[in-house]
Structure 1
Amino acid sequence: MLVTAFLSRIRAAAARFSAVTDGNVAAMFAVAAVPIVCFVGVAIDYSRANSARSSMQAALDSTALMVAKDLSSGTITTSQVTAKAQAYFTALYTNTDAKSSVTVNATYTAASSSSTSTILVTGSGSVKTDFLKFAGYSPNISFNSSSTSTWGNAKMRVALVLDNTGSMAQNGKITALRNAVAGSGGLIDQLSALSKTNGDVYISVIPFAKVVNVGASNYTQSYIDWTDWLNPPTTQPANAVTSGSSNSLQAGLPINWHAVGPGARCPWTNSSGGFTCQQSPTSTQSASTVPSSGTYKGYVCPSVDYNSHTLYNGCWVSTQVGTTAQVFCTGNNNCSCPLNSLGLPVTGCGCSTTGGVKSCSGYIYTHDWTQPGPNDTAHNTYQPRVSAVVGWTSNQYTAANPTPTVTNNWQQASTNPITNWTGCITDRTQPNDATGVLPDTHDVTTQFPANEYYENNSSYCSSSASTPLEPIIPLSYNWSALKTAVNAMQPTGGTDQAVGLAWGWQSLLPNGPLNTPAEDSNTTYNRVIILLSDGLNTEDRWPAYGDGSSQANGNPIDVRQALMCQNLQNAKDTNGNPMYTIYTIQVNTDSPQDPTSTVLQNCASSPDKFYMLTSSSQIVTTFNTIGTALSKLRVAK
């Protein structure tokens, strides 16, 4: 071979040099050339062996990862690990110096309580030497290497935040969503295949509309803010929030409030307060006048709020003060007698003007709200007290006393206790509607407001609704239960992506309201949120932001959600890496189509994690694509 011929010529040249006596320098060079050439040759041999080993290491690394992915996804069984490893390695290892002498072996070790699942792939081989063998050494350089792929130390927690709004009934979207997530081979199947030990993979399901449903049985939980749910329409701070040039939607007490009693017309309309009156505390049947007989004689019960699409959970009860007419308002030209069903002043009421000052007198009533007040120590002790303002001092409005100051003093059982709450939760008080801060009983802004969402003649969180909003499922590895929950989802209500996203976030936070399992500081976690919506935001807790069909100018709902997305993206783990991976999906099948949702697009962790779908059939393929990406993320070297 070439090397042998080369060495023969070197030896011949050295012999000629050694025979010459008049060229000592040349003779010395000839003698020195032999070890120099040998050293160069040895370097070449070792370089070839090192190259073969480096190529083996690269092939082993890829083989270990590919076999681990196949095993974790269920493509192969443990008995096929070695054969699959050999097949992958053979295809990957292309070094010609050592390929014929290589052997490969793979060993799978299952996870235990103290260790993770591993695949160890080992390889060995040798390279025939061209120089070392002439120096009396072995004709081969042997080498070996190994690679270990580990999974199970990187656990996965995935929050599925899924649009359940009414428009999901169109074009087969809700059916496609159920199939994509809970169908055979769907996302739950894909992710559950990655789990070799309970807890390796968790999934939460967050159906959302304008609200989320945390389940009516949770009425005892300390994370709930009952302020809005218990208070009358005149004490609803969210209704007072304005957007742009809009006026406040907060209802107020009428000037002649203390003359309103049995037989008087309802003092509010949808235009004057955002609601009318109904027949009883839990009825949804309208009442044009305050009942003048029966169990609820004198009860002024507000209907569903026309602006916020919520039910109020009490009534003002009319308690007559004395038996003679008294002044109930003075000093304002709007002061007047309440009218009866015939449009005439109620019995015993009249007005007069003296010295330019108008005054009205009639039978007087106090109006406590039928939720226990601060002085009640006997009734509904498991629920908060209501200190809402319900009237004027001395039971009369005056120009000098225009602001109601008397607080609620109902000391009987509630007409609609919190045990009747159906489970609806709306957006948190700003700024915590956009944060992941955990609830704190000492700070009501961190708690989650109970709500009684009512729209299209349906109380959407009620299990008796024709299309109820299904409850949240906290992180779970009960795959069948998760599938059942997804398959039960129905289209219902308006769109508030932010409240769904907020609870998707909460579902990933240990020590939060959903009893999220604790995290091990020695374990890596892949925390993932997948948010799907088929429409733009239209309403949330603040009625001035949207009316259920469109947003107010300036997209205030999107502004709040965008802030939450920024906070999610800015969250970092202990290593300074992003805490969450966020996928967003817009299903845009309308004709004409909605514009691209900027807030959804920007909420995704990266541009490739935002999906714009134009047909229901793409829902299945998109979830499959995301599932494949998460499967790769789960396998960590």
Structure 2
Amino acid sequence: MSRTSLFQRFVENRHGGTGPFLALALIPLMGFTGAAIDYARANATKVAIQAALDSTGLMLSKSANTLTPAELTASANSLFMAQFNRPEAHNVTLTHEFTAPQQGSFALKLTGTATVPTRFASLIGTSELTVSATSEILWGIKRLNLALALDNTGSMSSSGKMAALKTAAHNLLDTLQAAAKKPDDVKVSIIPFATDVNVGTIYKDEPWIDWEQWENVNGVCSNSSYKTKTSCQSAGRVWTTASRDTWNGCVWDRDQNFDVQNTAANGGQATRFRANQATNCPASILPLTNDWGALHAKVDAMIPTGNTNVTIGMAWAWQTLSPVVPMNAPSPEPDLDKVIVLLTDGENTQNRFTTSRTSIDARTAKVCENAKADNVKVYTVRVISGNATLLRNCATKPDWFYDVQNAAQLNAVFSAIAQNLANLRIAK
């Protein structure tokens, strides 16, 4: 047999001989496949480092500017190791950098590093993986006036929304109370809204309430066939107006365009707030206060009722932050932030003028625009349903709009807002 024939047969042979090659190929194949597991373990360790860093930074922010460098190092290490629990991590180190970029402003940068021994990647020459993460906490000492405009309409009774809102609001108040260094550093107002806003019957004698329309429909005619003051008197009958003590505290939209402005309510009838004996009157508002007990009690008092008028909720939130009649809030100052958190779970359905959603949306958009032009910062929260575009545009920044698809997410959303409001944020 010629050499050419032997070679030809060797090349064409398909029997045996592949096993050894496969065995040799399995080693790197197993190494690369197992490396994916090692990298997943390393990534889990990195995530754990990041979470521990964020938590440590937030806790240290309360006292970092009062600690000596040695105290800060000891406290940082103690807090970090208490949060970080990954037995597979070796050579864990923590470094920090504390600075004061400007007067009353602070920054704490934390970096954590660790190595994770490999189980499979060592087959391809990698015996360990190094992971690291960084967290930077920024905070300051600005004072805060916050208005919570909270949808209290009937739809909030579904899907656990009201219960979740109350839990989230309580936690937000706790966070802000803890952030206040002095009693007046943080003040909060709460504005439950439906079609109307309930300002409270304590204001029944105030000149900024317009009673004309209320008195036209609340009373008794000497001829019971007539139901309004106008029709009664036009028929020559006697109208006996109801006592203002029977008013339930609700007001509705001011005359346009005062309905979307924070103009003082003492400039004539059009600027006043119209009393309205709303059938579905929400819980009364609570003006700016640092009485945390009263704030928590107001949250507990909220009950879902009525239709949706986001405009009036936003307008009254702005009023509670404005240094004019009726709320007479503190005047703007460089170290004072004025903020509104607006939450709703539905489309606009009714205001004093119309039931046209498009028309009411236009008023909502306008009051948002005007408030932001007045240097009020606006966060918006949509719970399951509502006009997402309207609310996104109402927020000061796109990422200050939160689209919540499940009521259970509200607590996390309010927690994030609370940390930001406390002038404390994580910059990664």
State TM-score, norm by structure 2: 0.67
Whether contact under 8 Å (1:69, 1:632) holds in the other structure is no
Cα distance, 1:70–1:530 mapped onto 2, change above 3 Å: same
2:286 to 440, 448, 473: 473
Is residue 167 from structure 1 mapped to residue 92 from structure 2 by the alignment?
A: no
**Cα drift, residue 117 of structure 1:** 7.7
Q: What is the letter of the counterpart of residue 95 of structure 2? A: A
The aligned residue for residue 197 of structure 2 is: 212
Cα distance, 1:202–1:76 mapped onto 2, change above 3 Å: same
Cα distance, 1:515–1:596 mapped onto 2, change above 3 Å: closer
Whether contact under 8 Å (1:160, 1:530) holds in the other structure is yes
The aligned residue for residue 366 of structure 1 is: 236
**Cα drift, residue 570 of structure 1:** 2.1
Any idea what the Cα deviations from partners look like across 1:309-335, whole Å, max 9, x if unmatched?
xxx6x585579xxxxxxxxxxxxxxxx
**Cα drift, residue 165 of structure 1:** 0.3
- Which structure shows the bigger proportion of residues in helix conformation? 2
1:225 to 189, 210, 214: 210
The aligned residue for residue 599 of structure 1 is: 390
Give the Cα–Cα distance (whole angstroms) in 2 for the partners of residues 72 and 199 of structure 1.
Answer: 20
The aligned residue for residue 405 of structure 2 is: 614
Give the Cα–Cα distance (whole angstroms) in 1 for the partners of residues 69 and 316 of structure 2.
Answer: 41
Is residue 157 from structure 1 mapped to residue 127 from structure 2 by the alignment?
A: no
Cα distance, 1:480–1:79 mapped onto 2, change above 3 Å: farther
Give the Cα–Cα distance (whole angstroms) in 2 for the partners of residues 81 and 530 of structure 1.
Answer: 38
**Cα drift, residue 367 of structure 1:** 3.5
Any idea what the Cα deviations from partners look like across 1:13-37, whole Å, max 9, x if unmatched?
xxxxxxxxxxxxxxxxxxxxxxxxx
The aligned residue for residue 249 of structure 2 is: 423
Give the Cα–Cα distance (whole angstroms) in 2 for the partners of residues 193 and 117 of structure 1.
Answer: 18
Give the Cα–Cα distance (whole angstroms) in 1 for the partners of residues 176 and 351 of structure 2.
Answer: 32
Cα distance, 1:595–1:181 mapped onto 2, change above 3 Å: closer
SS at match of 2:284: coil
Q: What is the letter of the counterpart of residue 252 of structure 2? A: T
Is residue 177 from structure 1 mapped to residue 165 from structure 2 by the alignment?
A: yes
**Cα drift, residue 585 of structure 1:** 0.7
Give the Cα–Cα distance (whole angstroms) in 1 for the partners of residues 150 and 391 of structure 2.
Answer: 13
Q: How do residues 119-518 of structure 1 correspond to structure 2 at under 5 angstroms?
A: 151-152=140-141, 154-182=142-170, 186-231=171-216, 281=219, 298-302=223-227, 314=229, 317=232, 366-368=236-238, 370=239, 414-440=240-266, 442-454=267-279, 460-461=280-281, 469-518=282-331
Cα distance, 1:626–1:227 mapped onto 2, change above 3 Å: same
SS at match of 2:362: helix
Any idea what the Cα deviations from partners look like across 1:116-170, whole Å, max 9, x if unmatched?
989899xxxxxxxxxxxxxxxxxxxxxxxxxxx9843x21111100000001000
Cα distance, 1:633–1:429 mapped onto 2, change above 3 Å: farther
The aligned residue for residue 531 of structure 1 is: 342
Give the Cα–Cα distance (whole angstroms) in 1 for the partners of residues 335 and 249 of structure 2.
Answer: 34
Alignment root-mean-square deviation, CA: 3.4
**Cα drift, residue 481 of structure 1:** 1.0
**Cα drift, residue 510 of structure 1:** 1.8
**Cα drift, residue 479 of structure 1:** 0.9
Give the Cα–Cα distance (whole angstroms) in 2 for the partners of residues 86 and 119 of structure 1.
Answer: 19
The aligned residue for residue 569 of structure 1 is: 372
Whether contact under 8 Å (2:196, 2:309) holds in the other structure is yes
Cα distance, 1:445–1:281 mapped onto 2, change above 3 Å: closer
Give the Cα–Cα distance (whole angstroms) in 1 for the partners of residues 308 and 159 of structure 2.
Answer: 17
Cα distance, 1:222–1:539 mapped onto 2, change above 3 Å: same
Give the Cα–Cα distance (whole angstroms) in 1 for the partners of residues 65 and 96 of structure 2.
Answer: 22
2:416 to 625, 632, 635: 625
Cα distance, 1:164–1:81 mapped onto 2, change above 3 Å: farther
Any idea what the Cα deviations from partners look like across 1:612-631, whole Å, max 9, x if unmatched?
11111011111111112223
Give the Cα–Cα distance (whole angstroms) in 2 for the partners of residues 189 and 216 of structure 1.
Answer: 28
Q: What is the letter of the counterpart of residue 201 of structure 1? A: V
**Cα drift, residue 418 of structure 1:** 2.4
Give the Cα–Cα distance (whole angstroms) in 1 for the partners of residues 233 and 417 of structure 2.
Answer: 59
Cα distance, 1:511–1:431 mapped onto 2, change above 3 Å: closer
Whether contact under 8 Å (2:247, 2:277) holds in the other structure is yes
The aligned residue for residue 44 of structure 2 is: none
The aligned residue for residue 134 of structure 2 is: none
Q: What is the letter of the counterpart of residue 564 of structure 1? A: V
SS at match of 1:481: helix
Whether contact under 8 Å (1:156, 1:200) holds in the other structure is yes
SS at match of 1:181: helix
Give the Cα–Cα distance (whole angstroms) in 2 for the partners of residues 430 and 212 of structure 1.
Answer: 17
**Cα drift, residue 92 of structure 1:** 3.5
Give the Cα–Cα distance (whole angstroms) in 2 for the partners of residues 420 and 608 of structure 1.
Answer: 44
**Cα drift, residue 231 of structure 1:** 2.9
**Cα drift, residue 533 of structure 1:** 0.4
SS at match of 1:366: coil
SS at match of 1:92: strand
Whether contact under 8 Å (1:300, 1:315) holds in the other structure is no
Any idea what the Cα deviations from partners look like across 1:243-298, whole Å, max 9, x if unmatched?
xxxxxxxxxxxxxxxxxxxxxxxxxxxxxxxxxxxxx947xxxxxxxxxxxxx652
Q: What is the percent sequence identity of the aligned residues? A: 33
Give the Cα–Cα distance (whole angstroms) in 2 for the partners of residues 633 and 120 of structure 1.
Answer: 10
Give the Cα–Cα distance (whole angstroms) in 2 for the partners of residues 601 and 629 of structure 1.
Answer: 18
Any idea what the Cα deviations from partners look like across 1:180-238, whole Å, max 9, x if unmatched?
011xxx10011111111111001110000000001112111121122321235xxxxxx
Give the Cα–Cα distance (whole angstroms) in 2 for the partners of residues 634 and 512 of structure 1.
Answer: 34
Q: Say which is worse superposed, 223-232 or 83-92, in terms of deviation.
A: 83-92
Cα distance, 1:633–1:564 mapped onto 2, change above 3 Å: farther
**Cα drift, residue 429 of structure 1:** 0.4
Residue segments in structure 2 that go unaligned for 5+ positions in a row: 1-54, 78-93, 109-137
**Cα drift, residue 171 of structure 1:** 0.8
Give the Cα–Cα distance (whole angstroms) in 2 for the partners of residues 605 and 68 of structure 1.
Answer: 27
**Cα drift, residue 596 of structure 1:** 3.9
The size of the alignment, in residue pairs, is: 325
The aligned residue for residue 583 of structure 1 is: 379
Give the Cα–Cα distance (whole angstroms) in 1 for the partners of residues 230 and 244 of structure 2.
Answer: 14
SS at match of 2:179: coil
Q: What is the letter of the counterpart of residue 168 of structure 1? A: M
Runs of 4+ in 1 over 4 A off after TM superposition: 66-69, 75-82, 85-90, 116-121, 314-319
